[in-house]
Amino acid sequence: MGTARDIARLYALIIEDLHRPDGVPGNLARSSTVRAALTPYVRQEDPMLGFPFAYGRGGFRLKGTPRTGVDADMFGHDGGGGSAHFGWPGAGIALSYTPNRLLDIGNDDHRAGSLIRALKTSLHQLEMAATA
């Protein structure tokens, strides 16, 4: 449990550890341990929600449907009431969103998803501008 800032910092530390050279102690774990935690362990369709999901050995949710792009290596987890917490190692970004109003509307809550899509669009535009 923590604030959005606390959880984003935790994900940032995990990303930092992932990018450390092998054998160098990290903030939380060695890079080999983080890589193992982000290795897919379970990949199947959620029987209640009806969409694909994947979890790594460390309990993090991974991309349910692998794809390329700025968020291809995203890991994290949605939380209760509309929160979302993710790390994008390739982009060097950690994100934690905790709304000030918790809602129990399941997949109909688009607040966190809208924020993540806007961030992804911005990163994609920066990526395109850098290669132009």
40-83 pLDDT, tens per residue? 898 888 787 777 788 898 888 887 555 566 567 889 887 777 78
Most confident of 14-23, 46-55, 67-76, 113-122: 14-23
Residue 106's pLDDT band, with cuts at 50, 70 and 90, is low
Pair 84, 78: CB distance under 8 Å: yes
Task: Report how many domains make up the chain.
Answer: 1
CA-wise closest residue to 62 among 90, 43, 84, 47: 43
Please give the C-alpha separations between residue 106 and each of 4, 111, 113, in angstroms, as whole numbers.
20, 11, 12
> Over pLDDT 70: what percentage of the chain?
89
User: CA-to-CA distance for 130 and 118, rounded, in angstroms?
Assistant: 18
User: CA-to-CA distance for 60 and 7, rounded, in angstroms?
Assistant: 13
| Residue that the structure tokens 């009806």 belong to | 50
- Boundaries of domain holding 31: 4-131
Question: So what's the pLDDT on residue 118?
Answer: 87
Say what the pTM is. 0.81
